[in-house]
Amino acid sequence: MASTTPTVNNTSFSNGQQNYSFALSILTSLFFMWGFITCLNDILIPHLKAIFTLNYTQVMLIQFSFFTAYAIVSLPSGMLVEKLGYKNGIVIGLVTAGIGCLLFYPAAGYQSYIMFLVALFILAAGITLLQVAANPYVAILGKPETSSSRLTLTQAFNSLGTTVAPIFGSVLILSVAVKTSEELGKLSQSELTAYKLMEASTVQVPYLGLAFALFIIAAIFAIIKLPKVEASALNSSGENESSSNNKSAWQYKHLVLGAVAIFVYVGGEVSIGSFLVNYLGEPFIAGLKESEAGKYVALYWGGAMIGRFFGSITMSGMTDKKKKNIYSGLVILLALVLALYVTEEYQNFGLFTFQNFSKTLTFMLFVIINLAAFNLAMPNPGRTLGVLAMVAGTLVIISMLTFGAVAMWTILAVGLFNSIMFPTIFTLAITGLGKHTGQGSGILCTAIVGGALLPVIQGFFADNIGIHHAFFIPVLCYVYIMYYGFKGHKPVIAK
């Protein structure tokens, strides 16, 4: 990938300052869509596991196929974006993702696991192109010192997509219980045909709807005007980088270490999310049905949304304490509404007791701890990353060592602390790359392949030592992220 830093031409002004509000607003739709689509994999996993009678290692090929696209497509996507422009790259990415969604129709109709994996790869190729274009684009649309906060805010809408997707998927995909081979044998031919059609439609209808939405968004992006992005020899602080003799982004140690951090972060986050439905279904954890467990996955991904809103507030440099408190209060209210909806404890308002609202109050306790962690580490992004990684790792260890409600809620709460990790690692890693920012972005997006490899490794351990203790894989991931946050992100040029 050619080393090019994206910068923005003057397009509109307000009191001498560029105004990118419209561009940032329309870009949030992309973050929402790819979050929604990516998180639907967590619902597909238990569904296809039951249909095709797969073990954990085999079913994790879903994540392998999806995230392998990042390793294969990221660098070519960077070259494509550099040649055609960020806007055209976004349109092509949306159309490619839409085609991938359309392929779910024949895959479900023929009940072919291989076709599902191919469709997922094509879908992910489109998402990869969107990531390569949108992440650095958002980072440079504004003041460099608030790039982490800005990317965190747009990533919060990515988390909104991941929050809605499990609820959506649980209703449409997991609502039909998959019959065993013994149960299928008892059906007449007409009943068997009707069942297979119904089973296929649970996947076909949602993905056809997604394809339609992606094509519509692509058409919108094709006709709107966005600030033009072109190459420039500017570094992240907006100053000329004439003194730099570096020939490649690989010479920046903090970028290389950041790529490893992205690899383990995505791998750890996806590993946890991929196993949640089955984990919460275990009798020694919560014993939930798949459709019910799928809704609780929304708390894991919704926690990331809540945390990202907190992060965008505390890391934005906002000095007005009154405004910060109001915004934080609104986020807490959002968390409360989410918890009440998922747990369905809103039905108990007529009789308010701790027992009736124990699940909601438990989640809210972790929300308060999350906000406290942000305030403890603010406003330094590296320190914030380290503190949150330390808490996330601790929560996973507690879940591994306990059972029942404690194991359930500690693993769900990890999402709150995952929140700002990706945008913070990304912005820390590209800091000071100057003309090599484009190449650095491609390297970081390639590292998202961690979401392909680590879930398969965890699946192997889940098959051999049990799903409960296989979560040691994410623990190791958070240990490294903690190191990167406290020390590894500091810019040092590799020799």
What does the pLDDT read at residue 30?
82
Cα–Cα distance list, 318 to 16, 213, 312, 469 (Å): 21, 36, 10, 42
What's the first-to-final CA gap in the chain, in angstroms? Answer: 21
Domain count, the chain: 1
What does the pLDDT read at residue 9?
42
Buried b (16+ CB within 10 A) or exposed e, 403-429: eeeebbbbbbbbbbbbbbbbbbbbbbb
Q: CB within 8 A of 155, min separation 6: which ones?
A: 31, 308, 420, 422, 423
Q: How many CB atoms lie within 10 A of CB 145?
A: 12
pLDDT in tens, the chain (495 residues): 333 333 344 333 333 345 567 777 778 888 888 888 888 887 888 878 877 778 888 888 888 898 898 889 888 887 787 788 778 888 999 999 999 999 988 988 888 889 999 999 999 999 988 888 777 677 666 666 666 667 777 777 877 887 788 778 777 776 655 555 565 566 666 666 666 666 666 778 888 988 999 999 899 888 888 776 543 433 434 334 434 566 777 888 888 999 999 999 999 998 998 899 889 999 999 998 887 888 888 899 889 889 988 887 877 666 778 888 898 899 999 999 999 988 888 877 767 667 778 899 999 999 999 999 988 887 788 898 999 999 999 999 999 999 999 999 999 999 999 988 988 898 888 887 777 776 787 788 889 889 888 998 999 999 999 999 999 999 999 999 999 999 888 876 544
Q: Is residue 493 part of a domain?
A: no
Q: Distance between CA 250 and CA 242 in Å, rounded?
A: 18
Task: Enumerate the H helices of 344-403 as residue ranges.
Answer: 358-377, 381-401
Of 332, 285, 256, the closest CA to residue 495 belongs to 256
Q: Is residue 397 part of a domain?
A: yes
Q: Distance between CA 151 and CA 137 in Å, rounded?
A: 9
Q: Distance between CA 62 and CA 274 in Å, rounded?
A: 10
What does the pLDDT read at residue 2?
34
Instruction: Answer yes or no: are the C-beta atoms of 438 and 136 closer than 8 Å.
Output: yes
What does the pLDDT read at residue 268?
94
Q: Is residue 495 part of a domain?
A: no
Q: Is residue 28 part of a domain?
A: yes
Element (H, E) at 284: none
Cα–Cα distance list, 360 to 165, 289, 294 (Å): 20, 19, 17
Q: Is residue 376 part of a domain?
A: yes
**Residue 112 is part of a domain; what is its CATH number?**
1.20.1250.20
What does the pLDDT read at residue 236?
39
Instruction: Answer yes or no: are the C-beta atoms of 483 and 258 closer than 8 Å.
Output: no
Instruction: Answer yes or no: are the C-beta atoms of 432 and 238 closer than 8 Å.
Output: no
Of 386, 420, 334, the closest CA to residue 147 belongs to 420
CA 331 to chain CA mean position, Å: 19
Instruction: Answer yes or no: are the C-beta atoms of 267 and 451 closer than 8 Å.
Output: yes
User: Please, what is the Cα angle at 176 between 170 and 182, to 5 degrees?
Assistant: 135
Q: Distance between CA 75 and CA 442 in Å, rounded?
A: 5
What does the pLDDT read at residue 189?
66
Instruction: Answer yes or no: are the C-beta atoms of 267 and 450 closer than 8 Å.
Output: yes
Q: Is residue 494 part of a domain?
A: no
Q: CB within 8 A of 121, min separation 6: which ones?
A: 65, 66, 68, 69, 100
φ/ψ of 319, rounded to 5, equals -100, -20
What does the pLDDT read at residue 365?
95
φ/ψ of 115, rounded to 5, equals -65, -35
pTM (2 decimals)? 0.76
Q: Is residue 252 part of a domain?
A: yes
Of 32, 41, 30, 216, the closest CA to residue 119 belongs to 41
Tokens of 472: 């040691």
Q: Is residue 442 part of a domain?
A: yes
Q: Distance between CA 329 and CA 322 in Å, rounded?
A: 11
Element (H, E) at 228: none
Parent domain of 75:
5-488
Tokens of 468: 């409960």
Cα–Cα distance list, 224 to 12, 88, 229, 354 (Å): 15, 11, 15, 51
Q: How many CB atoms lie within 10 A of CB 155?
A: 28
| Furthest CA-CA distance within the chain | 77
What does the pLDDT read at residue 283?
92
Q: CB within 8 A of 351, min separation 6: which ones?
A: none
